[in-house]
Structure 1
Amino acid sequence: MEAFKYSLDKSSKKYVCPNCNKKTFVLYIDTETGNYLTTDFGRCDREQNCNYHKAPPKGKRAFLIDFITLKSISDKAYKLTDVNGIISIVPKSQILEQSKNNCWITEWFLKTSIINYLSSESKYFNTGSAVILNEVINNISLSERTCNKEPSFHSLELLDKMYFDNPQIDNLTEFLITKFSKDEVFNAKQNYFITGTNHFWNNATVFWQINNKEQIQGAKIMLYDRYTGKRTKEPYNHINWLHKAINDPNFTLRQSLFGLHRINEDYQKTIAIVESEKTAIVMSIFLPEFIWLASGSKGNFKFELLEPIKKRNVIAFPDKGEYKNWLDKATELNAFGFKIAVSDLIEQTDFENGFDLADYYFENNF
């Protein structure tokens, strides 16, 4: 019988779920040490209402793809023609195993490709660079569940009401005022429509995801410490969404890059992308010669979100520890006509993983 390194805690202990904020969350435990994993790894017991489940990494999940031809075109890439005649450029690092007529390609790559893979056989490869791929609801990934639904949009009237008519204090803005002038912070708030709210937590911040067509695809709510400017992560990550706060059960979330509406301000400016919304705001003050966008998470650096800026010159600034992943993704996308350069500035620092560009600039300017 296979012994699993991680398992759900079999005791009666329950913690606050990072998705629904109810004390119904069962944590994963390391079966070798008996220690709990971090508080985002676990399963919510509210099966009908939440079903959040984030399991520890099991390795890289891959799907079996049949092909007509698979030809090496460089040291790093293959040209693959699948059985449907679709031609794709696939990084060699994303093909985990191959035979004469088929190969195993990582789910991470397939999610952003045009290759039909969901009906194919899949399995996990235990590699040294495991990727967490199993954040699921009812064993169906969020992207697979929503891909066939039309996205929902918040109304501009809702933004106006929260931003203009009933403004609230938020901790992130209070922190920024201690680092920059009031005019600089005011301009940044206007550029990104930074809004305070008491939904879920007092003095939280709303980050509106407004696309390049001025449609509001989503609004993420996060809580920050007003004195340090750091996100509140204990006893759980304080992240939620406005459509849940206003009880809109029919809202279909299809994220966009944070700040995407700004790309229409100046077609000559280079676009810079970071992971954190806060970092995009901070860097827009430090380096206003760029248009600063944020992916919102490391996994959102992908084709679906980046497609609106395909024709623009882009520089990506990944967090410490993510340089190789973002470089690999940029290399794939550039083969399809994108123009993305990836900076290794943060990767060259001695700071721990997760350190980002805003941390770097704060460290060197204050």
Structure 2
Amino acid sequence: MKDFRYFLQPYRKSSDRHVCPQCGRKGEFTFYIDKETGQPLHPSVGKCNRENECGYHYRPSEYFRDFPNEKPKGDWKPLQQTQKPKEEKAVQYLPTSFLIEDKCRGENNLFHFIEREFGEDEANRVFDTYHVGTSKHWRNDNGLAVSFPQIDEQGNLRQIKVMAYNPTTGKRLKKQDYAELWVDAKKEKKYVPDNRPQDKIWFAGKSLLRNHEANLRQTFFGCHLIKDACRIGIVESEKTCLICSILMPDITWIATGGSNGCKWTESDVFQPLIGKRVVLYPDAGMFSKWENKAEILRNGGVNVTVSKVCEGMPRNTDIADVLLQERKPKEKPTTIGDICKWLDELGIEKGRVTFNL
């Protein structure tokens, strides 16, 4: 058996497990270690231990395919199979019956926040457009959690992501926030305090199918809207996507669901973007990382640029925060220069815009 340069880091102590770049869980991510240096190859290269719930596994060979300039010279060898590779399983989908009319929207915590900000009609419109639903998986602040379906360009339901939100602030709940978890056991069905050390995020697909071996592959939240769109805005958060679609409806907004999220730099995921005018809107502090991702998309034939709107702002500020702030009275008004900068990013000709001075 050959001796390979990269291997998954053995577990010896808790610090050997890290934050997963996809699901964000601490203590679940295993790095690939470079035997020559004893250091991780890259913070994104590794495997999440939550195979059923997350399934993230970014191998050294895939990393060097995406970033060929990072490949060591001469002696690097890809991990070889010790046996014949298994045949690739066909992608499985969830029944579209899970997208039936939501009769519990009045109990949806995120709906309450968006309704308060924009009114009932706009909240209903955007929830209908993206098929956002309500889940009883978590209960908090007298309301229920949100379900974000991932529907591909063919109308197939690929995954359902469930998250709990604070209805007042609109922020998603972290591990330190209180929520009650729905327990559906044979003997009893009830809510119990969720004291698990993890954020309130759950990928429900495999559980809904009652098949934890199902081959589910994620896609963009809002992917089903790409086909009929000309200009696409890509953000990280599903909530941000909804808010932007209300405040800037001339653009079709989709979300990755995380920095690496739905593995959106893989060609089969970003394929629907080819032929569209695409702008990425990274959160503050993430411009460089998203510019690297944009380069992968460009190499795959996508016409994409990266916005600097959030650069220089407090960390984790996103485009929705900026747009919401613009709605509030402020001392410094928006200038024509600010507007022209935004028009350039969105690919809109300035001659088509009238300024009232």
The verdict on a shared fold, with TM-score over 0.5 as the criterion, is: yes
1:179 aligns to what SS in structure 2?
helix
Following superposition of structure 1 onto structure 2, how do residues 22-171 of structure 1 map, counting pairs within 5 Å?
28-29=14-15, 40-42=25-27, 53-55=28-30, 59-61=40-42, 94-99=69-74, 117-119=78-80, 148-160=88-100, 163-164=101-102, 167=105, 169-171=107-109
Provide the secondary structure at the position in 1 that maps to 2:89: coil
Percent identity of the aligned residues?
A: 25
Which structure: greater strand fraction?
1
Q: Is the 8 A contact 1:7 1:29 kept in 2?
A: no
Tell whether 2:269 aligns with 1:313.
no
The match for 1:210 is: 151
2:145 equivalent to 1:194: no
Aligned CA RMSD, in angstroms, stands at 3.5
Q: Aligned match of 1:226 in 158, 167, 173?
A: 167
Unpaired segments ≥5 residues, structure 2: 1-8, 33-38, 44-63, 177-197, 329-357
Q: Does 1:273 align with 2:238?
A: no
TM-score using structure 1 length: 0.62
Question: Is contact 1:41-1:55 (8 Å) kept?
Answer: no
Report the Cα distance in structure 1 between the residues aligned to 2:65 and 2:41, rounded to whole angstroms: 20
Structure 2 counterpart of 1:212, which letter?
Answer: E
Instruction: Kindly provide the amino acid, as one letter, of the partner of residue 148 in structure 1.
Output: E
Matches of 1:313 and 1:147, distance apart in 2:
36
Determine if the alignment matches structure 1 residue 334 to structure 2 residue 298.
yes
Matched, 1:363 2:325: yes
Structure 1 residue ranges without an equivalent (≥5): 1-5, 11-27, 31-35, 43-52, 63-87, 105-116, 121-144
CA shift for structure 1 position 103: 6.0
What is the match of residue 344 of structure 2? none
Structure 1 pair 228/166, CA: closer, same or farther in 2 (3 Å)?
closer
Deviations 1:12-31 (A, max 9, x none): xxxxxxxxxxxxxxxx359x
Q: Name the CA distance, whole Å, in 2 between partners of 1:295 and 1:147.
A: 28
Superimposed CA distance per residue, residues 202-238 of structure 1 (whole angstroms, 9 cap, x where no aligned partner)? 6010000000101100110011111110010123211
In the superposition, the TM-score normalised over structure 2's length comes to 0.64
Q: Is 1:289 matched with 2:270?
A: no
Give the distance between the partners of 1:213 and 1:326, measured in 2 at CA. Answer: 27
- CA deviation digits over 1:250-297, x for unaligned, max 9? 432200111011123x34x20110011111111000100100000111
CA separation in 2, counterparts of 1:176 and 1:156?
25
> 2:94·2:209 contact (CA, 8 Å) conserved in 1?
no
What secondary structure is seen at the aligned counterpart in 1 of 2:205? helix
Contact 2:285 2:312 in 1 (8 A): no
Q: How many residues were matched structurally?
A: 261
CA contact (8 A) 1:200 1:245 kept: no
